[in-house]
Amino acid sequence: MADNVLEVSGVYKKFRRGELYGSLRDLLPAMVGRIFRPKLKPAEVDLDKRDFWALRDVTFSVKRGEAFAIIGGNGAGKSTLLKLLTGIMRPTMGDIRVAGRISALIEVSAGFHPDLTGRENVFLNGAILGMTRDEIKRRFDEIVAFSGLEEFIDTPVKRYSSGMFARLGFSVAAHVDPDVLLVDEVLSVGDYLFQRKCVERMNAVIAAGSTVVFVSHNLRAVANLCPRSMLIERGQVQMIGPTEEVIRAYYKRGSEPRTADERRKASITEVIAHDDSGRVVEIESGSKLRITVRGHAQQRIEDMSVVIQIVDDNQYSVFDTCTQRLGAGALTLEEGDSIEATFELDLSLAEGTFHVNAYLHRYLTDWPYDTWLSAATFFVTGAHDVRGLVTLYPRLTDCRISSGASKSEETVDGD
Amino acid sequence: MIDAIRELYSRRDLLIIMAWREIKVKYKQSVMGMLWAVLMPIVIVCSGFVVRYAMAGMSGKPVESTDLMSVAVKAAPWAFFVSTLRFGNTSLINSAHLVTKIYLPRLIFPLASVSSQLLDFSISTVAVTLFLAIAGAGVSIELLWLPLLLGALVVLATSLAILFSAASLFLRDVKFLVDVFLTFAIFFTPVFYESKLFGKLAPLLLINPVSPLLEGISDVVIHHQAPDLPWIAYSCTVAVVLFVVSLTSFKKLEPFFAESI
């Protein structure tokens, strides 16, 4: 299709575990083979036991002006995919077509040379990212202003702090005007204010009609920026669709029961978020949510309490409670005993993604027997009238405008 | 190959800035700065003088001033050739962080390294020219050969730098091999002496495509005579063939750089 800026079809990428070449005997045929058979057909690709597929049959396309996200856990193949898209690597099989200039906000300060000054590095990095010298000259002041490093621009970057380093890198990269922009985890650069600046910049780039492909673990940012996304796992595309649905699918896969660790005295075996109708992933704000934690003792444990903590997407604690505080006292489990604790919560949370952390806590030593972070994940919906983490059930009781010119008053009465 | 050159042309600003980076970084935090470019040829010239005097002592023939001038005029191109290969050789390996993380035409790395050596070469050429002017080397029409000889030398050095940079990326053996070879290459190349000293064995020395070029330079600048044409033709052919081969194989191997480095 003509309006597809990016087309990826049937892409495979093979990697090899361990050292690349064991001996001269392996090497020579390998080199010769590589030079004369650059394109392989599926049947010809033999996977010996040291090889593995980092990507398998990946197919998707991105339209002009679209913001598209790639979601997946560590090792799912996201970075490999981005490297193929930028042309750093070539796929083992399959085709990638890019219409126009592609630029990547990945490793934004890789092009920096420590001995050069900030000014010199802006030119160097700008050129590496595909700008011409005239373009850089024209936008130089804008770039420096964005980084907020005017004072230190003539200092060698080896004297910069790592935050300054990354900020300058991002500032240069953010001012390249590509047809396709690839963004990988760079929004976690700098402090809160700078991060917000980055997200605004992304929004501006999208609004200006650039195509953006976004890779991030910050799923809230992804959901805000990209309407459509792709879930990739163990190198294979699991799903392509509206971001909300893809994120939901991603979290559903994440909460599988885990096996007990034999070395621990006690371990959490299951954490379920549920309501009357059973397990839930999506829940209306203000309704009742139950969280059940199941655990098992391998040895006798004393002074134990079950703790649940609800955190937001950035792992900031929103709420926590435990059996001890709720009146169950210190629990003692004999070897082989199991425990099940169910907490009922009135969910006064605003819209968003929340995770449940569960702990088997030991009171005396303040040290957990077992910890399970993000054991369950749920989405809160329905609190349309508030933003933030929680809802305090706001009601508008009065809202009036006093006019300076006349004495008449407009009054709106809430309930 | 045409594609490679076209891609390079479209990123010429990058090539210029990368070359400028090499130069800038090389002389940062050094008081002497670019004067260091003259040091290596001076050391070569001095050791050449020592060797010349030793040879004269053995053979009983006096040292002539043209012999010394010949050593001086060959030292600068030789220093250029050696350092181009040495730095070109590691240009890709030393930029591993860029090769694996950002896409840019990878030919930029060896070429930027060659460009910075070219600047050093120009500086040392000025120094040599001054020396020759003071020593009274004189000028003649034969100097018109110089652009061809120097051009062939640059093409030869560039081709080898490109070839070695890619080869040592895959096999570090190449890196060591080139280093060892360069350390001793001056003994196999007529820099301190002339190949004709070896009589019948002279062609053996001239197989090294740099040798005819160096002797040619000495012929036209010092002795004011035309260079040995068949051997110059041989060197030029080798240079052009190597250029095509190195560029083609570099482009063939380029897609595998990031995962093999």
Q: A300 CB near a chain B CB, below 8 Å?
A: no
More confident residue, A407 or B124: B124
Q: What beta strand segments (E) does A234-393 contain?
A: 236-242, 266-275, 278-279, 282-284, 288-297, 301-312, 317-322, 331-333, 338-346, 352-362, 367-381
Q: What is the pLDDT of residue A414?
A: 46
Q: Do A107 and B255 touch (CB under 8 A)?
A: no
Q: What is the mean pLDDT of residues A310-324?
A: 88
Q: What is the pLDDT of residue B3?
A: 82
Q: What is the pLDDT of residue A140?
A: 94
Task: Please give, rounded to a whole number of angstroms, the shortest distance from the CA of B151 to a CA of chain A.
Answer: 28
Q: What is the pLDDT of residue B56?
A: 85
Q: Do B100 and A34 touch (CB under 8 A)?
A: no
Find tokens 């001038």 and name the residue: B69
Q: What is the pLDDT of residue A36?
A: 60
Q: Do B17 and A132 touch (CB under 8 A)?
A: no
Q: Do B97 and A110 touch (CB under 8 A)?
A: yes
Interface test with A, best of B91, B102, B257 (most A CBs within 10 A): B102
Judged against a pLDDT cut of 70, whether residue A321 lies above it is answered with: yes
Nearest to B28 among A115, A124, A131 (CB): A115
Task: Please give, rounded to a whole number of angstroms, the shortest distance from the CA of A34 to a CA of chain B.
Answer: 8
CB A339 within 8 A of CB A328: no
Helix (H) or strand (E) holding A193: helix A192-207
Q: Do A38 and B104 touch (CB under 8 A)?
A: no
Q: What angle do CA B22, B115, B129 make, to 5 degrees?
A: 115
Lowest mean pLDDT among A121-125, A192-196, A351-355: A192-196
Task: Please give, rounded to a whole number of angstroms, the shortest distance from the CA of B141 to a CA of chain A.
Answer: 42
Lowest mean pLDDT among A286-300, B52-66, B77-91: B52-66
A 26-65 → B contacts, CB under 8 A: 27, 31, 34-35, 38
Q: What is the pLDDT of residue B135?
A: 86
Which residues face A273 on adjacent strands? A291
Distances (CA, A) of A237 to A69, A88, A349, B226: 13, 21, 32, 69
Contact list, A124 vs chain B (CB under 8 Å): 17-18, 21
Interface test with B, best of A124, A135, A176, A185 (most B CBs within 10 A): A124
Q: A83 CB near a chain B CB, below 8 Å?
A: yes
Q: Do A128 and B98 touch (CB under 8 A)?
A: yes
Q: A138 CB near a chain B CB, below 8 Å?
A: no
Q: What is the mean pLDDT of residues A148-157?
A: 91
Judged against a pLDDT cut of 90, whether residue B65 lies above it is answered with: no
User: How many Cβ contacts (< 8 angstroms) between chains A and B?
Assistant: 71
Q: What is the mean pLDDT of residues B96-114?
A: 90
Helix (H) or strand (E) holding A82: helix A78-86
Judged against a pLDDT cut of 50, whether residue A1 lies above it is answered with: no
Q: What is the pLDDT of residue A169?
A: 87
CB A328 within 8 A of CB A310: no
Contact list, B252 vs chain A (CB under 8 Å): 35, 38
Residue type, B173: D
- Cα A214 from chain centroid? 9
Q: What is the mean pLDDT of residues B143-154?
A: 94
Q: A120 CB near a chain B CB, below 8 Å?
A: yes
Q: In what order do the strands lie in the sheet with A211-215?
A: A102-105, A180-184, A211-215, A67-71, A228-233, A236-242
Q: What is the mean pLDDT of residues A95-123?
A: 85
Q: How confident is the model at residue A44 (pLDDT cuts 50, 70, 90)?
A: very low
Q: Do A88 and B100 touch (CB under 8 A)?
A: yes
| Longest Cα separation, chain A | 96
Q: What is the mean pLDDT of residues B194-207?
A: 86
Q: What is the mean pLDDT of residues A272-276?
A: 88
Q: What is the pLDDT of residue A378?
A: 86
Q: Tens digit of pLDDT for each residue in A193-211?
A: 777 777 788 888 888 888 8
Q: How confident is the model at residue A373 (pLDDT cuts 50, 70, 90)?
A: confident
Q: What is the pLDDT of residue B212?
A: 94
Q: Tens digit of pLDDT for each residue in B11-49?
A: 888 999 999 988 888 888 788 877 888 888 888 889 989
Nearest to A88 among B29, B103, B253 (CB): B103
Q: Least CA distance to B9: which residue of chain A?
A: A132
Task: Please give, rounded to a whole number of angstroms, the shortest distance from the CA of B27 to a CA of chain A.
Answer: 10
Q: Do B28 and A87 touch (CB under 8 A)?
A: no
Residue type, B215: E
Q: Do A107 and B102 touch (CB under 8 A)?
A: yes
Q: What is the pLDDT of residue A320?
A: 92
CB A202 within 8 A of CB A183: yes
Q: What is the pLDDT of residue A43?
A: 44
Q: Tens digit of pLDDT for each residue in A199-245?
A: 788 888 888 888 888 887 767 677 778 889 999 988 899 999 998 88
pTM: 0.77
Contact list, A132 vs chain B (CB under 8 Å): 13
Which residues face A242 on adjacent strands? A228
More confident residue, A246 or A185: A246
Q: What is the pLDDT of residue A214?
A: 86
For chain A, give the mean pLDDT.
82
Q: Do A110 and B14 touch (CB under 8 A)?
A: no
Judged against a pLDDT cut of 50, whether residue A306 lies above it is answered with: yes
Q: What angle do CA B63, B65, B70 make, to 5 degrees?
A: 100
Non-local CB neighbours of B132 within 8 Å, separated by 6+ positions: B69, B72, B73, B221
φ, ψ for residue A41, nearest 5 deg: -95, 155
Q: What is the pLDDT of residue B87?
A: 93
Contact list, A127 vs chain B (CB under 8 Å): 13-14, 17-18
Q: How confident is the model at residue A187 (pLDDT cuts 50, 70, 90)?
A: low
A 372-391 → B contacts, CB under 8 A: none
Lowest mean pLDDT among A156-170, A250-264, A324-338, A372-386: A250-264
Q: How far apart are CA B120 and CA A128, in angstroms?
A: 24
Q: What is the mean pLDDT of residues A354-373?
A: 84
Judged against a pLDDT cut of 90, whether residue A404 lies above it is answered with: no
Q: What is the mean pLDDT of residues A64-86?
A: 86
Return the axis-axis angle of helices A162-174 and A133-147, rounded to nearest 10°.
130
Q: Least CA distance to B29: which residue of chain A?
A: A115
Token pair, residue B146, equals 């110089």
For chain B, give the mean pLDDT.
90
Lowest mean pLDDT among A109-113, A146-150, B208-212, B219-223: A109-113
Task: Please give, rounded to a whole number of angstroms, the shortest distance from the CA of A119 to a CA of chain B.
Answer: 12
Q: How far apart are CA A142 and CA A135, in angstroms?
A: 11
Q: What is the pLDDT of residue A34?
A: 61
DSSP chain B: -HHHHHHHHHTHHHHHHHHHHHHHHHTTT-SSGGGHHHHHHHHHHHHHHHHHHHHHHHH-PPPPHHHHHHHHHHHHHHHHHHHHHHHHHHHTGGGHHHHTTS---TTHHHHHHHHHHHHHHHHHHHHHHHHHHHHT----GGGGGHHHHHHHHHHHHHHHHHHHHHHHHH-HHHHHHHHHHHHHHHHHTTTSS-GGGGGGGHHHHHTSTHHHHHHHHHIIIII-S---HHHHHHHHHHHHHHHHHHHHHHHHHGGGHHHH-
Contact list, B97 vs chain A (CB under 8 Å): 110
Contact list, A84 vs chain B (CB under 8 Å): none
Q: Do B170 and A31 touch (CB under 8 A)?
A: yes
